[in-house]
Structure formats: C-alpha cells, structure tokens
Amino acid sequence: MIRPVLRAGAWPAVVGVSGVAVVVGGCGAAFPAAATVLLPICFVLLAAAAAFTLDEPASLVVDVTPTGPVRRTGIRAVALMAPLTAGAVVMLAAAVRGLALPWGAAGLALAGNVLLGFAAACVVRTRTGEPGAVVGTAVVLVLMAPALVPHVARWVRTFPAPGAGGLSSDTVWWTVLAVCAVAVAVSVGGRNLSPWMSTVPISRRRRSYPTVQPP
Amino acid sequence: MTATLEVGRPEAVARRATLVPLAARELRRFVLNPVFLFAVVMTMWVAWSRAGAAVTEIDEVNGYPAVFLGGFGMMAAYWLTRSMRASEPVAGVTPVTRPARTAALCWVAIVPFLCGILALLGFLRTYPLGDAAYGPFSPSARIAVLVGQIVVPSLGGPLLGVALGRWVRFPGAAFVLFLVIFGWVELVTILTISRPDSAPIAVLRLFSPFAFFTLHADAGVTAWRGSPWFFIGWQLALCAIAVLVALLRGAEGRVRARIIRALTVAGAAAVILLVLAAAGGFTHAVTA
C-alpha cells in the first residue's frame, strides 16, 4: 500500500521545485551578501514544493478506496523529506561558507515554511484532488509579502535576518507551526470544514459511496 | 499580383473579424482574474501609501508596479492560458488556429500595459523629473529609467506568462519563474553594489527583464553604468521573443517558418541591444 501511494505522488513537481530552491539557496550561500534575500526565497520555494506532495490526479477513485485520509496523508508526508533535505543541504552549505546566521531560528523557519505549504495543501485537498498549483501560488504570495510589500516587513519577519524590525520570525513560525498542526489534524481527520470552505466536500461525498471495509 | 491581393484582403479581414471577439473575450477574463485585480489594488495601495513619504532615490519605490503588474500579471496570464488546456480537444477542432488564439491571449497584455502607463503618470506627479531622487541622469534618461522600470515590465510580464502557459505543463511554473527572476534581480543588484564599475556585472544586472539603476549612499544618489534607453530596447526585444515563442506553439507550415525567422531576428536584436545597454550610458558609477 505504501509504495503505490508514494509512487502516485507528484514527485517531478516536488523534486523539481526543491531543485530550483537548492539552486537559489546555493547562490545565497555562494554570495553571502545576498544570503538574507536568497535564503528566504529558497524557503518559499520549498514551501511551494511541499504544497505539491498531496496532489492526486486520480482522486475521484483514490478517495473512495478503503485507505483513509489519515493513512494516505501520512504516507504522502514522506515526500516532505525532499524539501526538508534540500533546505538542510542549503543551510549546511551556507554554514560551511561561514555565514553568520542564527541557525536554530533558520531551521525553525525552514520547518515552518514546509509545514505551512503542507498544511495548506491538506486543507485544500478536502476540496480538490490537485491542490498543489493553487496552494503553491497562495503560499508564495503570502510568504513573499514581507519582501514585496514594505508595510508588511515592518510588522512581521519570516526569516531571522539581523537588524530588521517587527514581530520576530521565531514567534511567527512557532505560531504558524501550531496553527498548521491543528489544520492538518482537522482536515485529515475528515471533519467538515466551515460552510464557506466547500459546497460539496469530498469527505461528505465519500459517505454516499458504499465503501468496502478491510478484513 | 492583383489576384493575390484580392484573395489576401478578405482573408485578412476574416482573420481580424475572428481575432477581435476572441481578444475581447480574453481581455474580459483577464480583467476579472483575482490575481490581476489583486495586483492592481496593491499597485494603487503602495502608490497611495507612499505618496507623502520621503524618498532618497527612485529605486526605492518604482519596483512595485513591475512586481505587481508585471510579476503578478505574468501569473494571471499563465493561468488564463493554462485554463484553456482542458477544453483543447474541443477548441482544437474549431476553424480558429492555435496561433490565432494565442495572438488573442497576447492582446490581454494591453490592460497591464495601460495600468503601467497610469502608474508612470502617477509616479511623475509624486516625483517630478527635477527631483534629486533621480540622481545624475539627464531628464530624457530619467524618463527612460521610469519607462523601463514601470511600463515595459507591465507589458512583458503577461506576455511571458502566455508563452510559459503555451509551452510548460507544470502548473506552478509561473510562481517558480517569478521567484527566480526576483532572486536574480536581487542577486545582481547586490553584486553591483559591491562592484559598481565592473562591466561584466553591469551586463549581468541588465540581463534581466527588470533592472535597478540607482543607489543612495552617504555622498548622494549614485547612478550605475548602463544606458536606460537601450535597456528599453532589450526589454522590448524580450517582449517580441515572448510573443513569438508563444505563437510558435501549434504553428505549422509557412507560418512556423516565418515565426522561427522572426525569432532569430528578435534574438539577434536582443543580444545587440543588451550589449549596447551595458556599453552605453555612464561608463562608470556616477554620484550626484
């Protein structure tokens, strides 16, 4: 069961976007002056890669199989190793190059970025079989907001760069981690989401199908 | 000859008669796209919120229209182009060729382009050409800098989105490209700060659909090397390449051969204009 579920994953998208992130982050490690700009972009790309881990083109069939969403999502979560490993490689390269960054906070930012992409994908997966593109775009727009909109940068920081103002990145990412954990638990648990989230959620549709219980 | 003209004219009229309603329909879809609407609102909001703020150099503020109208416009155009993929088996058997449908899609870039012109006019009202924030550039070069940083990216972004949507199947291609271009511009700008007089770094800085031209330091506003006018030429060549690459998808026979020929010419023009952009203008960083 594990191998077919993993094999059906959107690996080209996850690995491809993670690869682009490694290139961008590698440039950040190679040019320390640009690290505080390029490493956040690398992390945003890794969040987008995480958003593709739950893509399931055959969702109409897969969603009515006896394998529940908890198990399917758990197996698919293995694919998160790709963006997490890519991020760890970039951070290692930056550390080897002698970059002076708070590595604990940077690691937390990496985990937060990846989990945010995954949690958003979990929530949207209850509505559509391939949430990657929409969630990836949304996550990119949200996470890039501090870099694109000057006012947002004054309020929050999504990367532990020295000298910036606003809410510290640690506070932001601990909060995000907590919210994401709840969002994943709720969406995977098959509970109905708020009415505005969906008109016909898959979890509700699934109940109308006769499902075969495993022996 | 006469016979050719007589046959050619009704064909051209028929082509136009098909293109106009198609383009109008795509325009309506593009204007209602939430990403594009968000981009327009953000451009207006940033312009409004920074109107009274003190600015030490123009590059502090003139990148936002390029990001929102160009970058977000690229994502919107990409989605618009991709949205037709599902109906391709039906649309593909209509008498309208795919290049004609692509041409109609390319026309949507007129909307962000007009928004870019409006943003430029608003910018000129807030920061008149005589402002010290422009640095040592001449008045005409100041106009060129603004056109190259506000108007042309607003046109080029959506065209790039159409080309990308026609050729790339990966649904996240637009935001990946947006982040790569954003990262590239930041990287080469930071490299330029450390070595402002380097010619190869000037080429790298201008080898992009968007480039910064000034930096504020204690001594004043520094203008980097490079010609803003030739940079506009390079950007327009990139726009032409984007349109031709988009049209190439699905083109057959003589049309395909003509597009490839035009693509070669546009590519050569782009290389020449990039070299001229890097070699022209100030030959070293100048502070005023």
pLDDT at residue number B92 = 65
Residue given tokens 């003589």 in the structure block: B254
pLDDT at residue number A211 = 46
Q: Quick check: is A214 in a domain?
A: no
> What SS3 string covers chain B?
CHHHHHHHHHHHHHHHHHHHHHHHHHHHHHHCCHHHHHHHHHHHHHHHHCCCCCCCCHHHCCCHHHHHHHHHHHHHHHHHHHCCCCCHHHHCCCCCCHHHHHHHHHHHHHHHHHHHHHHHHHHHHHCCCCCHHHCCCCHHHHHHHHHHHHHHHHHHHHHHHHHHHHHCCCCCHHHHHHHHHHHHHHHHHHHHHHCCCCHHHHHHHHCCCCCCCEEEECCEEEECCECHHHHHHHHHHHHHHHHHHHHHCCCCHHHHHHHHHHHHHHHHHHHHHHHHHHHCEECCCEEC
Give yes or no for a contact between A95 and A107, defined as CB atoms under 8 angstroms apart.
no
User: Three-state SS for A201?
Assistant: coil
- Residue A142 structural domain: 2-207
Q: Per-residue confidence of chain A (215 residues) as pLDDT tens digits? A: 777 777 777 889 999 999 999 999 999 999 999 998 999 999 999 999 999 999 887 777 777 777 777 888 888 889 999 999 999 999 999 999 988 889 999 999 999 999 999 999 999 988 888 898 999 999 999 999 888 887 788 888 888 876 656 778 899 999 999 999 999 999 887 644 444 444 444 444 444 444 444 54
What average pLDDT does this structure show over B4-20?
68
Q: Quick check: is A152 in a domain?
A: yes
Q: What is the mean pLDDT of chain B?
A: 88
pLDDT at residue number A118 = 95
**Cβ-defined contact of B172 to A148 (cutoff 8 Å):** no
pLDDT at residue number B174 = 93
pLDDT at residue number B287 = 82
Number of domains composing chain A: 1
pLDDT at residue number B8 = 55
> What are all long-range contacts of A61-67, with beta carbons under 8 Å and residues at least 24 apart?
A62/A8, A62/A129, A63/A129, A63/A202, A63/A205, A63/A206, A64/A206, A64/A209, A64/A211, A66/A211, A66/A212, A66/A213, A66/A214, A67/A1, A67/A5
Among B23-37, B42-56, B136-150, name the one with the lowest average pLDDT: B42-56
Give yes or no for a contact between B141 and B229, defined as CB atoms under 8 angstroms apart.
yes
Query: What letter does residue A104 receive in the DSSP assignment?
Result: H
pLDDT at residue number A200 = 44
* Confidence label for B120 from pLDDT (cuts 50, 70 and 90): very high
Contacts of B46 in chain A (CB under 8 A): 149-150
**Cβ-defined contact of A37 to B171 (cutoff 8 Å):** no
Angle between helix B253-279 and helix B228-248 axes, rounded to 10 deg: 160
pLDDT at residue number B232 = 96
Q: Quick check: is A215 in a domain?
A: no
At B185, which amino acid appears? V
Q: B206 to each of A23, A160, B111, B277, B283, how far by Cα in Å?
A: 21, 30, 26, 7, 14
**Cβ-defined contact of B176 to A149 (cutoff 8 Å):** no
Q: Quick check: is A15 in a domain?
A: yes
Q: Can you say whether the dihedral through the CA atoms of B197, B201, B204, B208 is positive or negative?
A: negative
Contacts of A44 in chain B (CB under 8 A): 179
**Cβ-defined contact of A137 to B170 (cutoff 8 Å):** no
- Chain A residues with at least one Cβ partner in B under 8 Å: 12-13, 16-17, 20, 24, 27, 31, 33-34, 37-38, 41, 44-45, 48, 52, 130, 132-133, 136-137, 140-141, 144, 147-151
Chains A–B, number of C-beta pairs less than 8 Å apart: 72
Which residue of A20, A113, A155 is the best one to mutate when testing the B interface, meaning the one whose CB has the most B CBs within 10 A?
A20
Number of domains composing chain B: 1
Give yes or no for a contact between B212 and B150, defined as CB atoms under 8 angstroms apart.
no
- Residue B258 structural domain: 2-287
* Confidence label for B162 from pLDDT (cuts 50, 70 and 90): very high
pLDDT at residue number A165 = 66
pLDDT at residue number A209 = 43
Give yes or no for a contact between A139 and A119, defined as CB atoms under 8 angstroms apart.
no
Q: A177 to each of A117, A171, B21, B80, how far by Cα in Å?
A: 11, 10, 49, 34
Contacts of A13 in chain B (CB under 8 A): 170-172
Query: What letter does residue A213 receive in the DSSP assignment?
Result: P
Give yes or no for a contact between A132 and A55, defined as CB atoms under 8 angstroms apart.
yes
> Whole-structure pTM over 0.90, yes or no?
no
What is the ipTM metric for this complex?
0.86
